[in-house]
Chains A and B, each alone.
Chain A
Amino acid sequence: MTEGAGLAIAFRHDFPGFTAAIDLAAPTPGTLALFGPSGCGKSTLAAVVAGLLRPASGRVVLDGTVLFDSSAGICLPPERRRIGMVFQTPNLFPHLTVAGNLRYGQRRAGRDGGGFDEIVALLGLEPLLARRPRTLSGGERQRVAIGRALLSRPRLLVMDEPLSSLDGPRKDEILPYLARLKQALQLPILYITHDLAEVARLADWLALMEAGRVRAAGPLGEIAVRGDLPLALRDDAGAMLAARVLEHDAARQLTTLAAGAARLLVPLLAAAPGTMVRLRVPAREVILATDVPRGISVHNVLATTIRAITEDPPRRATLVALDAGGVGLLARVTPDAVARLGLAPGSAVLALVKSVAIEVFPA
């Protein structure tokens, strides 16, 4: 039963009028994001991994442990899988206090009861411990639910649209906690969402789902810039990457970031050099040029190679996927621009990106 590190999910299950046929593998630890519209089978996948739904056939393996294997007749019950679940609704036990909820899984996980204070501090739960779930706000409830799942010492944390029931400001209240927890605990996370902003901030590996199937899966940076996937046809299409803070130039009010071999200038950040950040470079903000422009305000002029060129018919536009020192970028330009510049896959081109157009999130 040793198949090494990683999460491998393959199953088939028929519902009336809907069939889920999933085949997906991702490395661990790290955050695997499942992205897709409502009703595409994301929650079914989460339920299968957690053991709440027994599929007709398939095999689910987490870091060498077989959780489900229909041909071998293995189906571990949810309590023996050690998968922490955070549902869309917090599902806190109303008859227990916050502390009682947090300890529920911890007590049943056996071994020593360590980690409580650490998790409470990480999620800022200290002032809530004595309260009942009924008296908490939506954001606070979801934080407690995350803490409760973490304290059950899971080997994988499954989060099924944990922010979808919250409004904008509440989401922004929780996202930093999620990013922090991802950094602090080396825990594999399966994160289900239909919000691209959450993907950009949290995912390392991205699986696109469509009508009960995985359309494509791979490292976030690669999937995000593939012009042949529906992701590229969104208004907010663009590259999503992780970058490291290299240095600050206080005089010019600029920060240099390193993403692969590429260097990017952005308006001065507060983060210390060495810190990791997340970037989004919208495709519509990337300009292509064959000569180095002079007398131009743009800070980032990146030497790139064209990976692929695809059409974006609804916008009468063209998507150009670029390789900038091992980092994927996506540019949305007109077909006319592609023709004028004589662009073709494999040719070299300069990508111009305004420093203020790059969206930076704390990682």
Chain B
Amino acid sequence: MLVGFALARGRFAGRFLVDAVVNLPLVLPPVVIGWLLLLLLGRHGPLGAWLYAAFGLRLAFTTAGASLACGVMIFPQMVRACRQGLDAVDRGLEQAARTLGARPLDCFLSVTLPLAAPGVLVAAIAGYVAALGEFGAVITFAANIPGETQTLPLAIFSALQVPGGEALAARLAIVSVALALAGLGLSEWAGRWLGQRLGLR
């Protein structure tokens, strides 16, 4: 959210660099992202070693690691959606709020954020659904441990490796399609519901 807002409205040095880093997962192969995460956050990576020493936190090859990998992969999508949600807010309304005595933060909280909320909510739900389908980054960084770091496509992939696993793969594929449809439907409905609550439509 914050990154989205900064990129949508901020004019700061290094904006281009932040924008590029945020969008990296869109253009790099997911496996590369997973491997970079492993280098950085693995037991012997610079950040991973420190995390383990300081908090006893292990990310590589754990459920938390799988979530992190998914998060990094869908990050550009989320940032982009937040940006679009914020861009859709009429600048005239913000100017009106300022002339009515609202400081910048007050204006953001009382006008910008509520009006951007439907777009952001839709993005959040769609992002969650997309995260369920993450494959490359997860298998590299968190491996494919059933019940721990196995995402849906990983399970389907595993099933297809076993002779006679097509039936299981098909069932999982159906679950995957159902989840995707449900997620898209939910995000659509939630956006509309919030929009109505806010009197936007």
A79-B103, A93-B111, A94-B200 known; A87 vs B98 contact (CB < 8 Å): no
Count A/B pairs, Cβ under 8 Å. Answer: 71
- Most chain-A CB neighbours within 10 Å: which of B96, B198, B199? B96
The answer to whether B199 and A105 touch across the interface, beta carbons within 8 angstroms, is no
Closest CB-CB distance, B54 to chain A, in whole Å? 42
**Set A94, A95, A149: member contacting B100, Cβ < 8 A:** A149
Binding-face segment, B13-21, B87-95, B155-163, B175-183: B87-95
A95-B198, A133-B199 known; A105 vs B92 contact (CB < 8 Å): no
A52-B95, A94-B200, A95-B199 known; A152 vs B115 contact (CB < 8 Å): no
A109 to B102, CA, bound (A): 9
Collect the chain A residues with CB atoms within 8 Å of residue B114's CB. Answer: 95
Q: Does A115 contact B (CB under 8 A)?
A: no
Kindly supply a per-residue 1/0 record for chain A positions 79-107, scoring 1 wherever the CB is within 8 Å of any chain B CB and 0 otherwise. Answer: 10111110101010111100000001100
Q: Which of B89-133 contact A (CB under 8 A)?
A: 90, 92-93, 95-103, 106, 110-111, 114-115
A87 to B94, CA, bound (A): 12
A87-B92, A91-B90, A91-B93 known; A52 vs B98 contact (CB < 8 Å): yes
A109 to B110, CA, bound (A): 15
Closest CB-CB distance, A195 to chain B, in whole Å? 21
Q: How many residues of A contact B (CB 8 A)?
A: 28
The answer to whether B92 and A91 touch across the interface, beta carbons within 8 angstroms, is yes
Collect the chain B residues with CB atoms within 8 Å of residue A94's CB. Answer: 115, 198-200
**Set A91, A132, A133: member contacting B95, Cβ < 8 A:** A91
A85 to B102, CA, bound (A): 13
The answer to whether B100 and A50 touch across the interface, beta carbons within 8 angstroms, is no
A166 to B101, CA, bound (A): 27
Interchain residue pairs with CB less than 8 A apart (27): A50-B99, A51-B98, A52-B98, A77-B98, A77-B103, A78-B99, A79-B99, A79-B100, A79-B103, A85-B96, A89-B92, A91-B90, A91-B96, A93-B111, A94-B200, A95-B114, A95-B115, A95-B200, A96-B199, A104-B97, A104-B102, A104-B110, A105-B100, A108-B100, A108-B101, A108-B102, A149-B100
Residues of A within 8 A of B (CB): 50-52, 77-79, 81-85, 87, 89, 91, 93-96, 104-105, 108-109, 132-134, 148-149, 152
